[in-house]
Structure 1
């Protein structure tokens, strides 16, 4: 028999009054009805307490808050997802962990729309974890936690940090194996794709770097493990503005002292740990679940909308969906800075296979713009175009020295104009005649490609015209035309 059923309305009200220091009676309008509904839902007292606590000291609008709040939240989620794209990433997660009541509750019960302070943690191998059924999430799904971890101790640590509501993936993101596993795909569409925004706006993120609820420790090989927190691309979106490292112990790594002024420690593993801690932008591209890379990138790249998450979607399709939604000047960087044509589908930007083998461009934005027509599925770039230009001297790649020097030759009525160009990469560019396009008035960065029918352009490579005087000379030739190019 459920706890609320045994207590009845009178017993539930008595427990709430005792816990919250009030003396309400059943004469308050709608209160008996709401408590009866909790009994019908088979809520235990912890769940009842979690739902009523935020509104208990102002019961005038409690019914409206509990019921219309749920509807408003559902409407917000439906508006956020349009087709396969999320047009509003600034939506709260669907569940949060109320640390006061020790229950997972819908996010809409949080009064004043405060954002929870999330937890980030390293995962462990399945052989080192247990799947535990527990009342915190009303036994909705088994919670995967490391062997030896205790959510009660994690809760105490978070409460000691002054946290009231938190978001923890294993508790707040529906897991497989539960009573309503069919809801996973629906909830993951939004939560997995947008959770990065929660970490972005959080006042503080709590890190468990050695595993959820585990004391922080380091030994040889930890930082190279597939399970290292630093090697999961997912953590790209979990860094946050301010962090607290949990699991600290008196003799733990956080209390080690450097042996010099250059950040070296007596233990090489400690030295590397602190270097990684201070250089989180250099998280390794190798991760256990490569799909996390794409979903993590979605929350790191600036975008007005991001693709929804579909577990069965191929890696290449997920990457394509992401590229279609990021802001146009980031697409421009992929076009003008990435040195090779795509090798799968689109030629104008790298495939996912290329992205994981060679880093994305890290130079400053070239301020180019590549648009996307969603209806026609057309990628386009308006730029300053030279229809015929000969490229020489860059046909030999050089792994040792990325910067290579060649020539761009333009023939105007038999007179050849020669410009010094640079390839800031090691990929060879076959000598030949190309169409060249630059999307910015500085004319510094160029894509060279093959002109196809119907104003289409097939990318071959990229090069740079580094000398401002050479660029001015090119402008004065007045041979460039501003052209709308459809990219294949």
Structure 2
């Protein structure tokens, strides 16, 4: 229960009683206040203004009429011919419109016709001036009608502008619905312009040079399921209250089918701005119906939902619709948008409930032998690694599909494929914070553009910033850019856990070729990384580490490598100032040889000395990594290493 206090209102005032009445409905605040509601500017957020606004919302929030969308009316296909039941028919109270209305040009309907349909759908009663020409006089209208006339003229201007721009009704509906219930319709244009300006400024500030400093940037566009149109995110509006945010789109995840099995569709859904690649046997209008059905099921039984709230998903995100694709007339614009939009795709899926098509977009779910091992499998695509989400819903479900198991002779008929599917999905969710495990999973994945495998690791590795996306970038350049924006703790895992020295000028961490071809990457889940940081200095193009250092230690026992990654034991011998040699037990879990020699060793801090980097100290406090070892000791004090260590800073090569 939310509580308000206002110095100009006491418990006996009408507004206060009205608020109490509304909140007594036990409806969650986010369900009471839809995103398309804005307060009067003359009342601000004062309690009487808010109470009146909420009462207005409640009064117009009577049960919406039931709406039907069928496969037959939307595509001309008989409902029973559609293999996926949830793609056949949607019945609900969402403010969705059929394709026939969405595709109707506003010019055919006329301004009055467009307004009549908006009033019917949105349950309002706005009007247009009977004779607009008579209102152009310089004489001031009567005070009682001034606001009404201004609103009427504003609505007429907006609708005539849409007619002149050749908009269809779906586009007009998508643009106006989020702001339709503003108190003064004359403010609609100002609201839209304000949202557009804020979004443009946000995206301009997000990309600094070649780096995205706002990794959780919201998507540029969303699919408005109510109007069946792709719209810029800023259309969805912001809120009248600080704690109410822009609606979160429901993301769709899918693996692209082979090029021979897909077709480029020019559709009014995205204004025919670019061809939309989809499977030949899929239909975007059927996918829309399934989205509405799955989302409606998700809120069924939720007591916080009320009749006038969204009863199904309002916005969705689908890459082929919302991300500008190749083949359109604005190829230069696509390349520029992709620099920002492609790297931030993961933000759409993070902590979201994701709808997943395993067999291709819009296709029925079928699991056959070889599907999970195919290069087109959802589990084997590079981009889907970041699309798991916090929860998932399997789309394309059919009554006889693998999600509906039949038991024969006490055994699960589809145990092999379905169990394998669930294990793969659950294992991905359980290793999200382990960088080496995520890289191991990426080793098994493929992409049309090789650099996408690097970009697909950005969100799983939880970087603070993101490198801009360049399709033609080399793999090593893309990997270097990604490592440079990783957290200092993740980079420390490369230094202390990865056993092989890198190539070129960066010996301290692996190359992309190393992490993609290394058969047994380290398991870093148990590594204590407190106060272990590899710090990046972009201006100097320099990586450094500050921590414990053993200036000279003789490492022996690892001269010969091993094909097996089993534990091998050796010794670290340190000569004290008095000439007495002290021997400490060390071991490795990798198969790489470490030549018997005297080295400089880097460690963690005084209470975390398990892992050590073996290397050579060079002039100017530089350090060149050779390999890594581990000790059996928990801290410096228990093993006697304390007297041989000091804190030093090294520039890592």
TM-score (structure 2 length as normaliser): 0.71
CA distance in 2, matches of 1:169, 1:469: 50
Residue 53 of structure 1: how far off its partner (Å): 0.9
CA distance in 1, matches of 2:425, 2:538: 40
1:112-158 Cα offsets, whole Å, 9 max, x none, are 41110100012111011001101000000000001100111110011
User: 3-state SS of the aligned residue for 2:649?
Assistant: strand
Residue 265 of structure 1: how far off its partner (Å): 4.8
* 2:546 is the alignment partner of 1:388: no
1:232-278 Cα offsets, whole Å, 9 max, x none, are 231121101111101111111111157899x9655533443333233
The equivalent of 2:146 in structure 1 is none
1:156-187 Cα offsets, whole Å, 9 max, x none, are 01111221100000000000111212111221
Cα distance change on mapping 1:105 and 1:260 into 2, 3 Å: farther
Cα distance change on mapping 1:37 and 1:146 into 2, 3 Å: same
Structure 1 outlier segments of 4+, above 4 Å? 257-261, 263-267, 281-284
Q: Where do 5+ consecutive residues of structure 1 fail to align?
A: none
Question: Counterparts of 1:188-267 in structure 2 under 5 Å?
Answer: 188-202=338-352, 204-256=353-405, 265=413
Say what the alpha-carbon RMSD is for the aligned residues. 2.2
Contact 2:195–2:237 (Cα < 8 Å) also in 1: no
* 2:493 is the alignment partner of 1:333: yes
* 2:243 is the alignment partner of 1:110: no
State the aligned residue count.
485
1:360-382 Cα offsets, whole Å, 9 max, x none, are 53323331210000111100000
CA distance in 2, matches of 1:128, 1:451: 57
* 2:523 is the alignment partner of 1:362: yes
- Structure 1, 250-259 or 365-374: larger mean CA deviation: 250-259
The equivalent of 1:54 in structure 2 is 178
Question: Counterparts of 1:45-124 in structure 2 under 5 Å?
Answer: 45-58=169-182, 60=184, 61-112=187-238, 113-124=246-257
Cα distance change on mapping 1:225 and 1:428 into 2, 3 Å: same
The equivalent of 1:135 in structure 2 is 268
- Structure 1, 408-417 or 252-261: larger mean CA deviation: 252-261
The equivalent of 1:419 in structure 2 is 584
Contact 1:128–1:146 (Cα < 8 Å) also in 2: yes
The equivalent of 1:475 in structure 2 is 641
Contact 1:2–1:42 (Cα < 8 Å) also in 2: no
Residue 424 of structure 1: how far off its partner (Å): 1.5
Q: Where do 5+ consecutive residues of structure 2 fail to align?
A: 1-102, 129-148, 239-245, 296-311, 432-436
- Structure 1, 268-277 or 78-87: larger mean CA deviation: 268-277
Residue 42 of structure 1: how far off its partner (Å): 2.7
Residue 313 of structure 1: how far off its partner (Å): 1.5
CA distance in 2, matches of 1:279, 1:15: 50
CA distance in 1, matches of 2:504, 2:313: 47
- Structure 1, 40-49 or 371-380: larger mean CA deviation: 40-49
* 2:271 is the alignment partner of 1:147: no
Contact 2:104–2:169 (Cα < 8 Å) also in 1: no
The equivalent of 1:278 in structure 2 is 426
Matching residue within 104, 107, 114 for 1:12: 114
1:72-126 Cα offsets, whole Å, 9 max, x none, are 0010111111111111122210000000100000011113411101000121110
Contact 1:257–1:265 (Cα < 8 Å) also in 2: yes
CA distance in 1, matches of 2:236, 2:409: 48
Residue 285 of structure 1: how far off its partner (Å): 2.2
Contact 2:442–2:453 (Cα < 8 Å) also in 1: no
User: 3-state SS of the aligned residue for 2:281?
Assistant: coil
* 2:452 is the alignment partner of 1:268: no
Residue 3 of structure 1: how far off its partner (Å): 2.1
CA distance in 1, matches of 2:191, 2:595: 67
Residue 471 of structure 1: how far off its partner (Å): 6.2
CA distance in 2, matches of 1:461, 1:277: 34
Contact 2:174–2:229 (Cα < 8 Å) also in 1: yes
User: 3-state SS of the aligned residue for 2:170?
Assistant: helix
The equivalent of 2:317 in structure 1 is 167
Matching residue within 445, 448, 457 for 2:623: 457
- Structure 1, 193-202 or 93-102: larger mean CA deviation: 193-202
Contact 2:451–2:473 (Cα < 8 Å) also in 1: no
Matching residue within 405, 409, 413 for 2:569: 405
The equivalent of 1:352 in structure 2 is 512
Question: Counterparts of 1:16-27 in structure 2 under 5 Å?
Answer: 16-26=118-128, 27=149
- Structure 1, 133-142 or 2-11: larger mean CA deviation: 2-11
